[in-house]
Amino acid sequence: MSLALSDSAASAARTIADFNFPTPPLAKPAEQTPFVRGEGDAHTVDPNDIKQDGYGSCAVLSTLHTIARQDPSVIQDMIQDNGDGTYTVTFQERVEVLGVETPFWKDVEVTVSGPFDGGAANPGDVGAGGAEVWPAIIEAAYAQQYKAGDTQYSTGVLPGDVMEAVLGAGADTVGAGSIDAAGMSAKLADGEAVVAWTPPFEDANGNPLMTPAQTALINEYGIAGGHAYAVSEIIPAGTSYVDASGTSIVAAEDIVVLDNPWGSSDVMMPYSDYQTVYGHVSSAPTD
Ligand SMILES: [Ca+2]
Ligand SMILES: [Ca+2]
Ligand SMILES: [Ca+2]
């Protein structure tokens, strides 16, 4: 090898082999681990572990949010740490016989490799074992299996499809106007996973698609368009609660709590207003 590093006479004979390059310090990747029980976690898998980042995976992460609230063991049981930086995620798919769906479900295993960084869901808690990445593991596995490897979710998915793949149970999807506050309360009390989502608020050219009345609510409550939220709670009229500004007030009407998979910008609003702005809602039993 005779690659000259300099054209000066003195160094012309020196080749790259003469230099003893120090090893550059490698950026040490943060250790990652599926699960960490953090402060404030009711269970190791807690809805507060979910922090959507740059990928368009709101349907996956809001579905995981509602399941983490209703039955966190489902999520803990679906991830196996293979100990070599890979993780195997078990989804459920309907058994079909001769092209016809049966009421039965089968396990489908999907293996993905870490680390999960960039636009992947951010870590939840950090513990001695590393940073908690169960949301990013399932986010990656779902994309690999059901989005032909579109790992960044450049196109979205439907919450009902994610529910079925995680829970192995049929999901119902209806208009937000079809379930009243009492019906929603009953679903949540029954342990159902529930996700509601908004239509796009603008068309591709930035023209508004919502009425002025809807836009006023969107601005008042800080709601994102084309976005999925976990439906977490119904606060019945007459009950006192702490609103988004931290003030304790008595609900004048039924209030719905919609948790944002970003891990921030959650929404609390009157149920009737929710029905005006949100488009659809999917639900499925967790047991
Ligand atoms: Ca946790
Ligand atoms: Ca946590
Ligand atoms: Ca990230």
- Ligand of minimum distance to the alpha carbon of 116: 3
**pLDDT on residue 4:** 35
Q: Would you say the pTM of this structure is higher than 0.85?
A: yes
State the distance from the centre of ligand 3 to the C-alpha of 117, rounded, in angstroms. 5
- Decide the pairing of beta strands 255-259 and 248-250: unpaired
Give me the residues of the chain with pLDDT under 70, please.
1-30
- Ligand of minimum distance to the alpha carbon of 57: 3
Classify residue 130 as left (phi > 0), alpha (psi -120 to 50) or beta.
Answer: left
CA separation for the pair 105, 93 (Å, rounded)? 5
Beta-carbon neighbour count of residue 130 at 10 Å? 17
State the distance from the centre of ligand 3 to the C-alpha of 156, rounded, in angstroms. 18
State the distance from the centre of ligand 2 to the C-alpha of 52, rounded, in angstroms. 14
**pLDDT on residue 245:** 84
What is the DSSP secondary structure assignment for residue 213, as one 8-state letter? H
Ion ligand 1: protein residues whose beta carbon lies under 5 Å: 38, 41, 46, 49, 124-125
State the distance from the centre of ligand 1 to the C-alpha of 160, rounded, in angstroms. 24
Which residue segments constitute the domains of the chain, with CATH numbers given?
A: 46-284 (3.90.70.10)
- Ligand of minimum distance to the alpha carbon of 120: 3
- Ligand of minimum distance to the alpha carbon of 262: 3
**pLDDT (tens digit per residue) in 40-69:** 999 999 999 999 999 999 999 999 999 999
